[in-house]
Chain A
Amino acid sequence: MSAAQTRRERRQGIGLAIPAMLVLAVFFVMPVVSLLLRSITEPEFGLQNYATLIATSTYAKVFWNTFMVASVVTVITIILGYPVAWMLSVLPGRWAAVVFAVILLSMWTNLLARTYAWMVLLQSTGVINRSLMALGIIDTPLPLINNLTGVTIGMVYIMLPFFILPLQATFRTIDPSTLQAASLCGAGRWQAFRRVLLPLSLTGVLSGGLIVFVMSLGYFVTPALLGGTSNMMLAEMIAQLVQSLLNWGLGGAAAFVLLVMTLALYAMQVRYFGAPGQEKS
């Protein structure tokens, strides 16, 4: 290949990327940067918006709620998702396909439709409370909605597929003969799990857990609908500051905090586990 041709190809390659670069520069990078700039220029230049965020107890509570819910959701998702991902890699083909179909169908079902289902299921006259009362387990309906319990249930429901699918891919990369070797060397089931299977699947668990945590931090729809007005989370707070209170400075500051947390955790993800969506195999 001649030098001229190489140069031409180089130019051609970049040329084709320019339209998308322009779209993202104008409609993504610029708006986000100017929102963040407003957080240090409105109402006047300085960091007072960030000071307000830290000092006001209402906002501190929102941050606390957000972290708490994201952590609890992550832990529950890992506990429920790990056995399913494990099973998916060993189940006979037909059954694995059924479980797969269930996970994909749930994941691709409209988010609002799923949240609506939980709003109906969890209300005080909903199926869950009615059945528990009919069975005589409780006398008065449990408060399952308009609080953080409802948010946690709804979020675990949304996050499970995002955890199970990548972890299942990790399980598939584990060579079953390593476990045979463990057993030949005299390891019992528990020992084989703790010293072979768990360490081999741990990267998948940590990477999936991190994805779930990051997604939960910035989640909007489910907390807004299942959490009620007194249990706000960060994303909803940002929306409200901007849309109802028109406080662009404070809203921008809260958005910046969320952005920095997300990018930091994402950088950690890429650094330790590789970019998501590019399965290491």
Chain B
Amino acid sequence: MQSFKFLLPIVVLTSLTVTAQSPTQYGVGRTPTAEEITQWDISISPTGEELPEGSGTADIGAQLFLEKGCAGCHGTNGTDGIAPRLVKRDVGVLENPWGYGRILPIRSPFATTVWDYINRGMPLGLEGTLLADEVYSLTAYLLYLNDVITDDQLVLNQDTLPDVKMPNEENWAQVPDWFPEEPRLRGYPY
């Protein structure tokens, strides 16, 4: 009886904890803290909902492009480096972004794709070191070089970036819904 009295409070505590977190079947793994999730989560939705506070302009971005070493690999003008070209070819027809070549995510319908890639993937060897302000400015500069925005003083931030009208905003194909055990394209025999 004595030991049973000792056990009782522990049982109650455990059940309380489980109720609070809603139980998993295997009870393996732990719950991350809110801080951990914030620190790990660098995904950026097309809505921009995860974009951090901060702001920048193409004017500042032009300076950063030199200071942060971008120009070292991509060339001073973003056209003549050993790393991929960052400026669209002069096709003269802004209405057909599919003629730009596969540069930046310039053909993405969302400016968030450009921001996200610079933030996660650049500069080579120093990925993840750019501050949010710097990413906004570099994004603005590259969009400016590609005529997507025309004002080098335009402030891009978490509110304005998702609203930037990309050349391909409408002109792209959604991937179809996927279901198991179905052909990859209905009506296509191959």
Are both chains from one complex? no
Could you tell me which B residues sit within 8 Å of A by CB distance? none
Which A residues are within 8 Å of any B CB, using their own CB?
none
